[in-house]
Protein backbone atom coordinates (compact mmCIF):
# COMPACT_ATOMS: atom_id res chain seq x y z
CA UNK A 1 0.00 0.00 0.00
CA UNK A 2 2.85 2.35 0.86
CA UNK A 3 4.37 1.70 -2.56
CA UNK A 4 1.08 2.64 -4.23
CA UNK A 5 1.14 6.06 -2.52
CA UNK A 6 4.79 6.58 -3.53
CA UNK A 7 4.22 5.63 -7.19
CA UNK A 8 1.21 7.93 -7.55
CA UNK A 9 2.92 10.84 -5.78
CA UNK A 10 6.14 10.53 -7.81
CA UNK A 11 4.11 10.69 -11.02
CA UNK A 12 2.55 14.01 -9.97
CA UNK A 13 5.53 16.03 -8.70
CA UNK A 14 8.56 17.79 -10.20
CA UNK A 15 10.94 16.54 -7.47
CA UNK A 16 10.23 12.78 -7.20
CA UNK A 17 13.42 12.18 -5.22
CA UNK A 18 11.91 14.13 -2.28
CA UNK A 19 8.78 11.95 -1.99
CA UNK A 20 8.69 9.98 1.28
CA UNK A 21 5.95 8.05 3.03
CA UNK A 22 5.85 7.24 6.73
CA UNK A 23 3.41 4.60 7.99
CA UNK A 24 1.67 4.85 11.36
CA UNK A 25 -0.55 2.01 12.59
CA UNK A 26 -3.10 2.17 15.40
CA UNK A 27 -5.52 -0.70 16.02
CA UNK A 28 -7.60 -0.79 12.82
CA UNK A 29 -6.33 2.52 11.39
CA UNK A 30 -3.33 2.95 9.09
CA UNK A 31 -2.11 6.48 8.36
CA UNK A 32 0.30 7.17 5.51
CA UNK A 33 2.08 10.51 5.98
CA UNK A 34 3.13 11.74 2.54
CA UNK A 35 5.94 14.27 2.47
CA UNK A 36 6.97 16.09 -0.71
CA UNK A 37 9.19 18.99 -1.74
CA UNK A 38 7.67 22.34 -0.65
CA UNK A 39 7.22 23.41 -4.29
CA UNK A 40 5.19 20.26 -5.02
CA UNK A 41 2.63 20.51 -2.21
CA UNK A 42 0.17 22.33 -4.47
CA UNK A 43 0.47 19.65 -7.13
CA UNK A 44 -0.33 16.89 -4.63
CA UNK A 45 -3.30 18.78 -3.18
CA UNK A 46 -4.66 20.03 -6.53
CA UNK A 47 -7.35 22.59 -7.17
CA UNK A 48 -9.85 22.55 -4.32
CA UNK A 49 -8.18 19.37 -3.02
CA UNK A 50 -9.33 17.20 -5.91
CA UNK A 51 -6.06 15.32 -6.40
CA UNK A 52 -5.63 14.71 -2.66
CA UNK A 53 -9.20 13.41 -2.46
CA UNK A 54 -8.64 11.12 -5.46
CA UNK A 55 -5.41 9.79 -3.92
CA UNK A 56 -7.22 9.04 -0.66
CA UNK A 57 -10.05 7.32 -2.56
CA UNK A 58 -7.66 5.07 -4.50
CA UNK A 59 -5.78 4.08 -1.34
CA UNK A 60 -9.00 3.45 0.60
CA UNK A 61 -10.34 1.29 -2.23
CA UNK A 62 -7.14 -0.74 -2.38
CA UNK A 63 -7.27 -1.23 1.40
CA UNK A 64 -10.69 -2.89 1.45
CA UNK A 65 -9.07 -6.33 1.51
CA UNK A 66 -6.95 -5.38 4.54
CA UNK A 67 -10.04 -4.92 6.74
CA UNK A 68 -8.56 -1.67 8.09
CA UNK A 69 -9.30 1.99 7.68
CA UNK A 70 -6.62 3.79 5.70
CA UNK A 71 -5.98 7.49 5.26
CA UNK A 72 -3.30 9.65 3.63
CA UNK A 73 -2.05 12.83 5.31
CA UNK A 74 -0.02 15.33 3.30
CA UNK A 75 2.88 16.82 5.26
CA UNK A 76 4.61 19.88 3.86
Give CA–CA dist 54/64, Å, rounded.
16
pLDDT at 5: 94
Domain limits for position 63: 1-74
Global confidence as pTM: 0.88
Q: Supply the angle between the helices 50-62 and 2-12 in degrees, to the nearest 10.
A: 150
CATH of the domain at 9: 3.30.300.20
What does the pLDDT look like over 6-63, one tens digit per residue? Answer: 999 999 999 999 999 999 998 889 999 999 999 999 999 999 999 999 999 999 998 8
Number of domain units in the chain: 1
What does the pLDDT look like over 58-71, one tens digit per residue? Answer: 999 988 888 889 99
pLDDT at 62: 87
| CB 69 within 8 Å of CB 29 | yes
Amino acid sequence: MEELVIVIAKALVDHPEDVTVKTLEKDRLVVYELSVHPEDVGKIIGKQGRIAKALRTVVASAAVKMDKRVTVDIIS
